[in-house]
A and B are shown apart, each in its own frame.
Chain A
Amino acid sequence: MMAGDAMDRRDDWLECTLRAEAADQGAQYLADDGFTARVLVHLPPPAALPAWRRPALILLWLVAAGAAVAALPDLAYDLFRSLVAAVVVVPLTLSRIMIALAVLAALAWSAIVYVMREE
């Protein structure tokens, strides 16, 4: 019985000692000291897009547009006629041509940005 008590006391003492030592060590926060920066430097480089991907995407868009025109020729024809009519009705001036070009450029730029963002 006495030996058992002594054993229990030793168990408790060791448990307390291990907990206290772990708490003591755990309370000691290790300063970063450039550790994070060293890890980030060694990360693999970001995956670069292959060089052929951009022209391939543009080609695919053009093929898709061609396919859409071929599949819906009436709609494409109507659209084209409406566009021509709109251009003919509105008298052409240099400023309007510039505005139209600017709008087209903005639309093209937005489409490119959108496609690249999706990539």
Chain B
Amino acid sequence: MPSAPVSDAQLIARVLVQDDRHAFGELVRRHQSAVRSSLRRLTGGNHALADDLAQETFLLAYRNLRSFRQEAKFSTWLFRIAYNAFLADARKMKELPLPEEGEDRELAPPEDPAAPLARSAALNVDLERAMATLSEPERAAIVQCYHNDLSHEEAAYVLGCPVGTVKTHILRAKQKLKARLAGWGPES
């Protein structure tokens, strides 16, 4: 009979009580994809930087595991650490990705309407470009609420700001995205 899967809380308890590194390894294995993926989004697709920040995230999580009070899900707590690591790195570098030349233009679908797959891929590329033009808090709010599928309350916990601020960032981000992607959309 297959044994019941061990919960995150049980693994955390093993790490805290016995310093069980295998248990911590299991936690990393479970959450690495979501954390790395989220950081790839925040860093604008810089995979190497995202993986470095993800590694830092898990090391910080290990060091601060005693401060995790189960108020939020473990994954949400990890997203919060990851976002703080990203912010610290961005401040250290003191440079956010600048828009490439010609990025002010409105993004529109390709000319060939007979290629739906190409159209979908092009939309993803344009959405990524449009995301890169958002301010860092706006992009972070979109990443947390859509990509990480968090509620506004959870996103506020991760971003360390009030729920109302998250909603404002989302609203502004959507306005910018709509303007940038005006060539796409229902009327195009």
Does the CB pair A19–B32 fall under 8 Å? no
Interface residues of B in 26-71 (CB under 8 A from A): 28-29, 32-33, 36-37, 41, 51, 54-55, 58-59, 62-63
Q: Is B172 interfacial (CB 8 A cutoff)?
A: no
In chain B, what residue has the closest Cβ to A31? B33
Q: Is A25 interfacial (CB 8 A cutoff)?
A: yes
| Least distance between B180 CB and chain A CB atoms (Å) | 10
Please classify the interface of chain B as helix (H, G, I), strand (E, B), loop, or mixed, using the class held by over half of its residues. helix
Chain B interfacial residues counted at CB < 8 A = 33
**Which A residues lie at the B interface, using CB under 8 A?**
6, 9-14, 17-19, 21-22, 24-26, 28-30, 32, 35-36, 38-40, 42-44, 46-47
Q: Is B21 interfacial (CB 8 A cutoff)?
A: yes
Does the CB pair A9–B186 fall under 8 Å? yes
Does the CB pair A25–B37 fall under 8 Å? yes
Does the CB pair B58–A39 fall under 8 Å? yes
Please classify the interface of chain A as helix (H, G, I), strand (E, B), loop, or mixed, using the class held by over half of its residues. helix
Does the CB pair A18–B33 fall under 8 Å? no
In chain B, what residue has the closest Cβ to A42? B59
Q: Is B174 interfacial (CB 8 A cutoff)?
A: yes
User: How many pairs, one residue from A and one from B, have CB atoms within 8 Å of each other in the complex?
Assistant: 81
- Give the distance in Å from the alpha carbon of A30 to the alpha carbon of B149 in the complex: 17
**Which B residues lie at the A interface, using CB under 8 A?**
19, 21, 24-25, 28-29, 32-33, 36-37, 41, 51, 54-55, 58-59, 62-63, 123-124, 127, 142, 146-147, 149, 174, 177-178, 181, 184-187
Give the chain A neighbours of B146 by CB distance below 8 A: 18-19, 21-22
Does the CB pair B28–A35 fall under 8 Å? yes
- Give the distance in Å from the alpha carbon of A21 to the alpha carbon of B124 in the complex: 7
- Give the distance in Å from the alpha carbon of A42 to the alpha carbon of B59 in the complex: 7
Does the CB pair A21–B127 fall under 8 Å? yes
Does the CB pair A43–B62 fall under 8 Å? yes
In chain A, what residue has the closest Cβ to B51? A35
Does the CB pair B55–A42 fall under 8 Å? yes
Partner of A14, one of B25, B59, B181, B187: B181
Give the chain B neighbours of A32 by CB distance below 8 A: 29, 32
Does the CB pair A43–B59 fall under 8 Å? yes
Partner of B24, one of A11, A25, A40: A40
| Least distance between A28 CB and chain B CB atoms (Å) | 8
Partner of B178, one of A10, A43, A47: A10
- Give the distance in Å from the alpha carbon of A35 to the alpha carbon of B59 in the complex: 12
A/B interface sample: 26 pairs, CB < 8 A: A6-B186, A9-B187, A10-B187, A17-B184, A21-B124, A21-B127, A25-B37, A25-B41, A26-B37, A26-B147, A29-B33, A30-B37, A35-B32, A35-B55, A36-B25, A36-B29, A36-B32, A39-B32, A39-B58, A40-B21, A40-B25, A42-B55, A43-B21, A43-B59, A44-B63, A46-B19
